[in-house]
Structure 1
Amino acid sequence: MERFEAEYMLETAWPPEKAAAVIAGEQSSGTFRPVPGETEALKARSAARVEVLEELGPCAGPSLPGAAGGAYRRARLVLSWPVANTGISLPNVMATVAGNLFELNCVAGLRLVDLRFPEGFVAGCPRPAFGVTGTRALSGVEGRPLIGTIIKPSIGLTAEETAAMVDTLCAAGIDFIKDDELQADGAVCPFDDRVRAVMAVIRAHAERTGKAVMYAFNLTGEVDEMRARHDLVLREGGSCVMVSANSVGLTGMLALRRHARLPIHLHRNGWGYLSRHPALGFDYAAWSKLWRLAGADHMHVNGLANKFCEGDDSVMVSARSLLSPLSGGHAGVTMPVFSSGQTALQAHGTWAALGTADLIFAAGGGIMAHPDGPAAGVRSLQDAWAAAMAGVSLAQAAKESPALAAAVRGFG
């Protein structure tokens, strides 16, 4: 019988084996008291199983309120469930691995660290339709990162003002542009108007230069709205759409992926409320697997020296997890998107830490707020990444690139 696994970091004042058994029961065939229908045959067929329970030593106290008192300890816990419990259904897997277990009073801390699925489950999910290879083919960018930006101000520009900014960025040689997650279909900049205005600019540049810039239009909305918005982007010659994961949920994402003929750029806004407490919620590797299985082609991972609270090591662990195959027989690789306070100053560190150019490097203020303007911002990133990949120091490269030198002065 095929099974899928979830790995947790558990804090509890209960004997860890008792807490593990309660969690396993709550998330499968058991409840707080034995019931007549819970036969041994049923449990053999449907119960969660404790695969690993490794005690890691004591901890100072409960990380979460409402936990039963006592001497608290930490443990690594791996549970497994039969695939037959959920079928190949990501929403129901989510309910199983991240449901009521967080609320049990035997839990003083619980974080979902990883998820592992059998080959058959992975094969039955949509998975990325484009990923790294398809994104490179559509963008025409090989052998280096896609240099990108986010339209800023995030919201408030009209469709015509957005298109004018895109005109400047296309002329500067940018590879990728995205809407901010706050910009979807507001009255100031309606989605349909924005798509038509922006794509007219992108088509005009493509006719002159042969390069069609990839623009991720934020189509977040209800399922029918997202399908209609995707179809408009496709008709206008666009090559990417964007959706906010936590706004549309797994069901919305699955519906979009099954309909879409374009790469899906998945934004993780709201990630902090799922992850910021170290003893509660998700590690990115676990959470992102659900969205990769649902078909995300690009996913945000933050960036080095970012404007948020995440440390550099965590960012790199997240990026590497996206570039790891979902299973042995299926690539399922999703392109990491570095963003959040990025400038030309982070190119060398990102290259050194990740060791691959299979990424989108999206700098909003790092391009739009460059001292010499957006075109120089694009050039500064191009020159920084070329230097990093060639083994040329930032200081040396800045001597040869006025745009990079201005970025070092302005952002340093």
Structure 2
Amino acid sequence: MTSERFEATYLIETPLDPRKVAQVMAGEQSSGTFTRVAGETDELRERASAVVTKVEELETVAAPSLPNAWLARKGVSGPWRRARVAISFPVDNVGANLATLAAIVAGNLYDLGEVTGLRLDTITLPASFRSRFPLPSQGIAGTRRLTGVPQGPLVGSIIKPNVGLSVEETAALVAKLCEAGLDFIKDDEISADPVHAPLAQRVPAVMAAVRRHQDRTGKAVMVAFNITDETDAMRRHADLVAREGGTCVMTSLNWCGFSAMETLRRSTDLAVHGHRNGYGALSRHPMLGISFQAYQTLWRLAGVDHMHVHGLQGKFAQEDEEVVSSARDCVTPLSAGIDDRVMPAFSSGQWAGTAQPTWDAIGHSDLLFMAGGGILAHPGGPAAGVVSIRQAWDAVMAGISLEEAARTQGELRQALDFFGKLAG
């Protein structure tokens, strides 16, 4: 037994005393329930109970964020008080068990009758506890080594159309994207093992195109094959990718689950590209779900190497501030002294013009910068689209404005003129 503890923080909303609600939360997720039960000794509580370490009251609101039948039955009304709550849990309640860790920091808390809003914000782990879980097999350094990109952003794209291309059409498109000068190509999240292009045929065909390009140019393009499936199938798919000389697989994290991802991590050293599709269902309501810091903490404990963060000025609902903080979370070690950083993957509506706000916001280039239309729809063609993005990043990292750089760089000029009008 150890005395080590980890901590989770929450944003809550309640018409009750937030301090009392915090105690209910701590009890519900450790040794307590709504009443004392047989076997619940003082010694057990001392050893296994969660402890409320902080309650910071915030604003009150006139209406609840979420309906609550329990409060309605009791005739409890507002005002509704919001607060930030920190709770410390004994490590020994969990062990090296990721699914149980998730159940403890979240789980039934979302259903508590005392709250009309609850959001898991952060998870903080001691180094000894973090070390019980796998590190990323490749992470930032391994991804750079495998792609031969020692510095600057990795420029990537997505296979479009998302669904419908045959095996031969997909391989031809990958060959075209390799020729365009990409570092990284990925499947879309909605296309994994379709009947018209099964992985058993698609992986060998695509990797043959990648190998031909490497033989001609020396450039090893990383392809993230979407192997989302049940656990045994994902392992077979990953083995096929490795046999064909591939270096990366992609999974839809939320739909595969922690256990499947842990099993996959143990069975392969390929880079695992973690796609977060569905995360909006967990995060978009400000008083419900899970913030990205906690979300990515759990998935990094499963051993992923890349995490999607969406993109600045992109096509999705997230504010730029959330995208920036998510990217920073990915490159922040979970515990002191352990390098478990993962590569943030920027996508959704990205093009040469979004290089500037991305650089301004995060100040580093340890990232995947993926553009679909920003490359494939460039008026000069895909190769010009890739060049325009590289020109943009070279400029912003050198402290040169995009307009100034575009005076002498035609591909960037075309991108700013064409996509700038669409963005405006």
How does the TM-score come out when normalised to structure 2?
A: 0.95
2-structure distance, mates of 1:170, 1:329: 38
Question: Partner of 1:15 in structure 2?
Answer: 17
Name the structure 1 match of 2:5: 3
Instruction: Give the match for residue 381 of structure 1.
Output: 389
How big is the shift at 1:173? Answer: 1.2
TM-aligned CA deviation for residue 61 of structure 1: 2.4
Alignment of 1:189-204 (within 5 A): 189-204=197-212
Q: Which amino acid aligns with 1:111?
A: R
Q: Is the 8 A contact 2:62 2:78 kept in 1?
A: no
Residue type of the alignment partner of 1:406? Q
- Provide the residue aligned with 1:117 in structure 2: 125
Helix, strand or coil: the match of 2:254? Answer: helix
Which structure 2 residue ranges, 5 or more long, are not aligned? 72-76
Q: Which residue of 2 aligns with 1:103?
A: 111
Post-superposition offset of 1:125: 0.3
In the other structure, the counterpart of 2:38 is: 36
CA RMSD of aligned residues (A): 1.1
The residue aligned with 2:74 is none
Query: C-alpha separation between the residues in 2 aligned to 1:287 and 1:174?
Result: 29
TM-score when normalising by structure 1 = 0.98
- After superposing on structure 2, the runs of 4+ consecutive aligned residues of structure 1 that deviate more than 4 Å are none
The C-alpha deviation readout for 1:265-285, integer Å capped at 9, x for no partner, is 000000100000000011101
Output the CA distance in 1 between the equivalents of 2:319 and 2:18. 30
Give aligned-pair identity as a percent.
55
Aligned residue identity for 1:38: E
State the AA in 1 paired with 2:58: L
Question: How much has 1:399 moved relative to structure 2?
Answer: 2.1
Per-residue CA deviations over 1:115-173 (Å, capped at 9, x if unaligned) read 01111111110021211111001100022100000011111111111111111111121
1:4–1:117: 8 Å Cα contact kept in structure 2?
yes
Query: In structure 2, what is the equivalent of residue 409 of structure 1?
Result: 417
Conservation of the 8 A alpha-carbon contact between 2:250 and 2:275: yes
Describe the superposition over 1:358-390 as per-residue Cα deviations: whole angstroms up to 9, x where unpaired.
Answer: 000000111112222212111111111111111
Q: Could you say which residue in structure 2 is the equivalent of 1:137?
A: 145
Equivalence for 1:57: 59
Q: Deviations over 1:160-210 (max 9, x none)?
A: 111111111111211000000111000111112111111001101111111
* CA distance in 2: counterparts of 1:381 and 1:195, whole angstroms: 28
**1:86, 1:93 within 8 Å by CA — same for their partners in 2?**
yes
How far apart are the structure 1 equivalents of 2:394 and 2:300?
Answer: 30
Retained in 2: the 8 A contact 1:293–1:332? no
Segments of structure 1 that go 5 or more residues without pairing to the other structure are none
Question: C-alpha separation between the residues in 2 aligned to 1:397 and 1:60?
Answer: 52
Moved more, 363-372 or 5-14: 363-372
Aligned residue identity for 1:96: I
Inter-partner Cα distance in structure 2 for 1:403 and 1:165: 21
Alpha-carbon separation, structure 2, partners of 1:6 and 1:257: 25
Matches of residues 311-350 of structure 1 in structure 2 within 5 Å? 311-350=319-358
Letter in 2 for 1:205: H
Cα distance in 1 for residues equivalent to 2:258 and 2:247? 22
After superposition, what is the alpha-carbon deviation per residue over 1:21-61, rounded to whole angstroms, capped at 9, x for unaligned? Answer: 11111111111222122111111111111111111232232
1:302 partner SS: coil
**Letter in structure 2 aligned against 1:90:** L
Could you tell which deviates more after superposition, 137-146 or 53-62? 53-62
Question: What's 1:370 paired with?
Answer: 378
Q: Distance in 1 between matches of 2:412 and 2:59?
A: 50
Letter in 2 for 1:172: A
> Per-residue displacement from partner, 1:292-317 (whole Å, max 9, x unpaired)?
11111100001111101111111000
Q: What CA distance in whole angstroms lies between the structure 2 residues aligned with 1:391 and 1:169?
A: 29
Q: Tell me, in whole angstroms, the C-alpha distance in 2 between the residues paired with 1:193 and 1:405.
A: 40
Aligned mate of 1:276, from 275, 284, 300: 284
Q: 2:171 matched to which residue of 1?
A: 163
> Which residue of structure 1 lines up, in the alignment, with residue 29 of structure 2?
27
